[in-house]
Chain A
């Protein structure tokens, strides 16, 4: 839900927006932008820095916001571009960073990710499967990875993804199709990812 402040602050007299006004926009969107960036870069510190960069860039380029998309979509498009710039140099360190998170964080994520009622074995299998999916997703071509994560992790409608990426809807669909196809093939399970846990 877009607040009236956002519309007046960003869409109206953009040049007159003060950092104080913009603070409200930051407050409303910082969590989502951080979450999107965390999904894309998988590094909490980097995601935090990029979130700050995203809002600074948004403020500096606020004149370019025409209200054709929501503020949220506009901010996500900036975030994606920032992640892209960093990703080109840092993808090699992806798994090292992913596995370098403290044990308690990993445990907490596992607890949340896996079904709380499931057995330890099932949790372990679920964890391994999830790690495998992340590994495959990380190796996807950049655009496919972005579309896949925005669709999966953010549940964004395809139209919104298209606006955020500045691409045609058909192109986004094609990227998602290829991404899903790749994940499916590389998981090597006949009936999709979770079915593997049933089939051992």
Chain B
């Protein structure tokens, strides 16, 4: 009996897609009321979600940028990682060489040596100059900090050399 005065679930589902059960609504005022209630509920749910998703253009642009970033070819990222690692290895090798070579010579002269004096030794200078020249030839962006470091070391070496000569 109650079913005669109420929409069934299929009719409600139909109402949600904008297909009112016209005969039922015409014959049954309470059905019409319920149809209106469900239609209104659907409208309010859609409005609420739409209002929360109505975001400024920069949000969408930023979202696209992040997606693009994540879709960047893996090979490109690997290439830069490889170049960076190579640069660090080269730098570490240079520093190890710089630290190891002068010990014998220094031991014969003065026991206490400063960092600037270590840089006076010719093999180190040569190595630094080589590294510097190598970096200057083709300088990828990730190697910029390494180049700066090498330049500073070379500069310190030259200053020490000049100080010694004076």
For chain B, residues 1 to 21, give those with C-beta under 8 angstroms from any C-beta of chain A: 6-7, 9-10, 12-13, 16-18
B34, A151: Cβ atoms closer than 8 Å:
no
A59 at the interface (CB under 8 A from B): yes
Interface string of B69-91 (1 = CB under 8 A from A): 01111000000000000000000
CB distance from A77 to the nearest CB of B (A): 18
Chain B residues 26 to 54 lying within 8 A of chain A, measured CB to CB, are: 30, 33-34, 36-38, 40-42, 44-53
A23-B49 in contact given A151-B17, A152-B16, A155-B16 (Cβ < 8 Å): no
Question: Do B50 and A35 touch across chains, with their CB atoms under 8 A apart?
Answer: yes
**Complex interface bits, B50-66 against A, C-beta within 8 A gives 1, otherwise 0:** 11110100011001101
**A153 → chain B, closest Cβ, in Å?**
5
> Which chain B residue has the least Cβ–Cβ distance from A174?
B9
Q: Is B164 an interface residue (CB 8 A)?
A: no
* Distance between Cα atoms of A56 and B7 in the complex (Å): 43
Question: B residues engaging A (CB < 8 A)?
Answer: 6-7, 9-10, 12-13, 16-18, 30, 33-34, 36-38, 40-42, 44-53, 55, 59-60, 63-64, 66-68, 70-73
Taking a contact as CB atoms under 8 Å apart, the answer to whether B49 and A38 are in contact is yes
Q: Is A15 an interface residue (CB 8 A)?
A: no
Query: Which one of A2-10, A24-32, A63-71, A88-96 is at the interface?
Result: A24-32
Tell me the A residues contacting B by CB distance below 8 Å.
19, 22-23, 26-27, 30-31, 34-35, 38-39, 44, 48, 51-52, 55-56, 59, 105, 108-109, 112-114, 126, 129-130, 133, 151-155, 157-158, 173, 176-177, 180-181, 184, 190-195
Complex partner residue of B34 from A27, A109, A114, A192, CB under 8 angstroms: A192
Cβ–Cβ contact A195 & B53, under 8 A: no
Q: Whose C-beta in chain A lies nearest to the C-beta of B64?
A: A26
Q: Which residues of A contact B16 (CB under 8 A)?
A: 151-152, 155
* A141 CB to nearest B CB, Å: 16
DSSP majority for the B interface? Answer: helix
Contacts of A31 in B (CB 8 A): 53, 60
Q: In the complex the two chains form, is A155's CB within 8 Å of B9's CB?
A: no
A180 and B42: CB pair below 8 A? no
Main SS of chain A's interface residues?
helix
With contacts A192-B41, A194-B41 taken as known, whether A27 is within 8 angstroms of B52 at the C-beta atoms is no
Q: Jot down 12 A-B pairs with beta carbons below 8 A, ordered by A.
A: A19-B68, A26-B63, A26-B64, A26-B67, A30-B60, A30-B63, A34-B63, A113-B48, A151-B13, A153-B45, A158-B17, A180-B12
Q: Which residues of A contact B18 (CB under 8 A)?
A: 155
Given A26-B64, A55-B67, A180-B12, A192–B49 Cβ distance below 8 Å?
Answer: no
